[in-house]
Structure 1
Amino acid sequence: MKCVSLDLDGTLLDDQHQISENNKKVIQQLKENNVDVILNTGRQYADVIKVNGVKELELPIICLNGSMMYHPSGELLYETKISMEVYQSVLTELQKLNVGILVYTNQGGFPCTLPGLKGKSWDEIQALFDNQDYDMIAHLKDVKIYKLIAVVAETEMDRIKDVKNQLKQFDTISFSSSFPNNCEITSSEAQKGKAIRRYENLKKVVFDEIYSFGDGGNDVTQFEVSTRSFAMENAPDEIKRKASDLTKSNNDDGVAYAIKEILKLV
């Protein structure tokens, strides 16, 4: 069996956050050819299914960098979370570094999720962070914490290195960047590559060939379990070096191009 694992932002979606008709057509052709197609994203489920055309594709969705997995019907198949103790310890370290913090939970994002920052000035974003009571989150009834994101201004991207260095002391978390100005933090069990293998186990199948597509640091683990991995032309150079192959940009239907012209899967 073959599997194609697709990152969403910067990969399947163009810069207007749309799935092109060409990409949609190729995905449908893959399904008709009995190729398993998975959406494998750092977004939370609610932010994924808001994207125009996603529901119609009827695909399994791996969310929050492998923290949660959903059946095409929307049924939750798997979840892994960050313990409250680890959350509070990581939160303390991030607050010492004076970075913005997004917290993803089963009760929503605090102060919002990453798409909620789009179109805002840094002053507006900073106000969101300043007004959030992060200690309150730990006291919400039945709360589950899936992911944190440390965020800095695009003019201060070097500070993300400090964040990653500080996080190395924790052995039960994973962290990577979906954009150069952030660091996404999940349970160590939540990685895109591990999630593909978990999907295999849930389906009781073995993928003979896995092809993955991405543009960010959180895609590296899916590259590592893939037969061939494709970095988008718009990906940073360090991500391109991690992939076995390159394809066209997200604005030039790079997913469809690689599947049709390089892999010849349809």
Structure 2
Amino acid sequence: MSKIKLVAMDLDNTLLDSEKQISKHTEEVLKEAIRRGVYIVPATGRIFKAIPEFLRDIPGVRYAVCCNGATVYDQKEDKIIYTNHLPKETVFSLFDILEKYHCTRDIYQNGQGYMERCYFDHLAEYGVSDHVLKLVRDTRLPLDDLRKYIEEHPLGIEKINVFFDDMEERETARQELIEKNIASVSSSLENNIEINQIGCDKGDGLLHLAEQIGLSMDEVMACGDAGNDTMMIKAVGTGVVMENGQPDLKEIADFVTKTNNEDGVAYAIEKLVFEA
């Protein structure tokens, strides 16, 4: 019998295929895992309402690790069980750095995204397109002055999101942000940077969730593909990385599964949970 009692999974390029969907087979595997008493937990850089409805509505999907671990949410009780948010002063210091670069800036705060209209109306200029463009437009409210808004509403800032059209500039900005050492810096897409409170990551969020429901991290499996999944893969007892995942992430995996377009999460659950 498998020791795994909770399976956490990133969404983009992990659970979701290239069309941002899951197959019928993957859906059935998730439901079967729940029937066997395994917690199925989305662990994402997204806010909760940006988790696809078809996943949120699967009976038994109760918990979610959102915004890279900044907020852990209990859907059944409609309550937040853990937060690790950015203070206003840190946000403004990070904005000061980002203003030197040609990039967007927005925040997730208390489950809602906010972006200045000058970026919201010109997302294509920053390399935002296709499914990501739709997601941004669906989850951000446009504002005229984000700094002013934060001054008036400073609490609950979960994450800063940044998009670049120039990858060399993105890398320069990423290095400067890391060297500043006032926040956690990661990414989920090749053209973005995601910034959280220092010490905030999916692994930390999962640790607090596991403690809440009485599990050890040895009983947790996590699936991911990108930089913002690194600490989660390291923290759990069984770290699974997609075949389409970043090479450095695959090096630390306990198991490399099939790609996100080949039901890779379902395959890992079948091999490591059902057949163990």
Matched-pair contact (CA < 8 Å) for 2:203–2:232: yes
Partner of 1:138, secondary structure, is helix
Query: What amino acid is aligned across from residue 185 of structure 1 in structure 2?
Result: I
| Corresponding residue number in structure 1 for 2:250 | 240
Alignment partners' CA distance in 2, 1:123 and 1:256: 34
**Cα distance in 1 between the residues matched to 2:196 and 2:111:** 16
Secondary structure of the structure 1 residue equivalent to 2:176: helix
Where do 1:7-156 residues align within 5 Å? 7-48=10-51, 50-57=52-59, 58-73=61-76, 74-106=78-110, 108-111=112-115, 121-122=124-125, 132-141=144-153, 143-153=155-165, 156=166
Shift of 1:186: 0.5
Choose 57-66 or 164-173, whichever is displaced more.
164-173
Looking at structure 1, the residues matched to 13 and 128 of structure 2 have their Cα atoms a distance apart, in angstroms, of 22
1:198 maps to what in 2?
208
Per-residue CA deviations over 1:188-208 (Å, capped at 9, x if unaligned) read: 242111111111221233243
Deviation string for 1:173-195 (max 9, x for gaps)? 21111011111000124211111
CA displacement, residues 22-79 of structure 1 (integer Å, 9 cap, x when unaligned)? 112111222222222211000011111x432322242310100000011131322122
Q: Read off the aligned partner of 1:5 and give its amino acid letter.
A: A
Consecutive unaligned residues in structure 1, runs of 5 or more: none
Change beyond 3 A, Cα 1:137–1:125:
farther
- Structure 2 distance, partners of 1:125, 1:12, is 21
Cα displacement (A) at 1:132: 4.9
What is the root-mean-square deviation of aligned Cα atoms in Å?
2.8
**Percent of aligned pairs with the same amino acid:** 26
- SS of corresponding position for 2:99: helix
The one-letter amino acid paired with 2:210 is E
Q: Is the 8 A contact 1:110 1:132 kept in 2?
A: no
The gaps in structure 2 that reach 5 residues or longer are: 130-136
Match of 2:185 among 175, 191, 206: 175
Query: How far off its partner does 1:264 sit?
Result: 3.7
Q: 2:69, 2:205 within 8 Å by CA — same for their partners in 1?
A: yes
Match of residue 230 from structure 1? 240
2:53 is paired with a residue of what secondary structure? coil
| Runs of 4+ displaced beyond 6 Å | none
Distance in 2, Cα, partners of 1:99 & 1:123: 6
Question: Following the alignment from structure 1 to structure 2, what is the Cα–Cα distance between the partners of residues 107 and 222?
Answer: 21
Residue 98 of structure 1 aligns to a residue whose secondary structure is coil
- C-alpha change, 1:40 and 1:142, in structure 2 (3 Å) is same
Amino acid at match of 1:55: D
Number of matched pairs: 257
Give the conservation status (yes or no) of the 8 Å contact 2:8–2:221: yes
TM-score by length of 1: 0.85
Q: 1:70 to 1:37 in 2, by over 3 A?
A: same
Take 1:240 and 1:21, find their aligned partners in 2: how far apart are those partners? 27
Deviation of the 1:163 alpha carbon = 1.7
Residues 123 and 209 from structure 1, CA distance in 2 versus in 1: closer, same or farther, beyond 3 angstroms? closer
Query: Following TM superposition, by how much is the alpha carbon of 1:265 offset from its aligned partner in structure 2, in angstroms?
Result: 4.7
Q: Residues 65 and 191 of structure 1 are in contact (CA less than 8 Å); yes or no, is this contact kept in structure 2?
A: yes
Cα offset, 1:246, TM superposition: 1.4
Do the aligned partners of 1:18 and 1:51 also contact (CA within 8 Å) in 2?
no
Report the CA distance between 1:216 and its aligned residue. 1.0
Confirm or deny: 8 A CA contact 1:82 1:146 kept in the other structure.
Answer: yes
